[in-house]
Structure 1
Amino acid sequence: MKEIYKHWSAPLYLSDIVDHPFITVGKKSYYSGYYDNRKFEDGCVRFLWGDQLSSKLYNPMNDFGWTIDRLIIGNYVCIASGVVILMGGNHNHNQDFLTVYPFEETIKESYKSKGDTVIESDVWIGMNAMIMPGVKIEEGAIIAAGSIVTKDVPAYSIVGGNPAKVIRQRFSNEVQKMLEEMKWFDWDDVQIKGAVHILSSQDIDSLYEYYLNHVK
């Protein structure tokens, strides 16, 4: 599929457009790239070695022994236009050195892996947010528009600001515990289709009853 965004209301599923070897995407996760008019792998995701051009230029694993950080995206993730996910290609500005300048002669030693960036299922990342390398955003979290996420985000929390901080939890501890047990986003398509109207409500008891009767 060509990555062409015809309108802001017509996002594309990541599973249809991503073929990067270091990006893993789940089902029904989408990117709304209309306003940026940039491809997901070359606009939203940045500095990730492994695309066609960077692969031809050098191989940091073979040449330098680096571990390449990966981007892992779960199911039913919503990524708005303008979101930036920074990855491993810029990890050679070593703040422990006397200079952060990446001299060619010392590039091998300057690199520091940040670890994989993980965006778990049912996450919504608002417009123009930036996700820094190595961050884990747990299931059900919401990232407010324009936020700079510099550290891990707890499940079912709403975070915002620069740097992003927890504004509040979306649900009570009891409801969150039930959601974390059910993990609706891992159900098969038939099970989810049968629960769509409950999922799009506040009726946690009905969802849990459906889970016990049709999923568990």
Structure 2
Amino acid sequence: MSLLKLSHVSAFYGASQALFDVHLDLAEGEVLALMGRNGMGKSTTVKVICRLMKNRGGSVMFDGRDLGSVPAHKAARAGIGLVPEGRRCFAPLTVQENLIAAARPGHWDLPRVFELFPRLGERQGQVASSLSGGEQQMLAIGRALMTNPRLLILDEATEGLAPVIRQEIWAAILRLKAETGLSILVIDKSLRELGSVADKGVIIEKGVSVWSGAFSALDRDTTDRYLGV
């Protein structure tokens, strides 16, 4: 059964249409890679899923519930956890305060987040603004996990980070997949790393889903056509 299903989704910024016909289907425990060149609608799709933006057409179903009229805070309570592009940590708060700000009871608590990201445990008393970019990204992921979501959305979680930090974050995503059964929607430009974690993929081109299927079925012609520079 689908945990998240988008069908014929369209969305607008004012009078400008950004999404025309987006489809995706993510089952419980799956990892789905959402791909496409810059400006093709990936982050807009994430906004629609998280109800930060309304879809004008089509449907957004989460665990069998239509989210069409649901505000963002209720979508989060339903079990959608977002790690936004650009991290957006609460700069004046400490690591621990960031983590508990929106925490909900469940599997994920401070000890488990600190076990996944030991750097956060070492810096739990520091304010977020004093952390490196990579540490802030770990904090953003940990903050989302502390809401104990059923779906974790990672929007460019490794963008602009040093290679060693990128590898730490990909290793954490692999652990989440292997050990927790958490459903994950991940946006990233690295096909190699995506291929190590994703079960399925969807490619968006100019606001339209143009390819979907098992990630292992993604061929060179398709990547050159829709993902090449």
Decide which structure has greater strand share.
2
- Greater relative CO, 1 or 2 (CA 8 Å, sep 6+): 2
TM-score (norm 2): 0.28
Hey, which of these two has a bigger chunk of helix by percent? 2
Give the structure with higher Rg (CA): 1
TM-score calculated relative to the size of structure 1 = 0.29
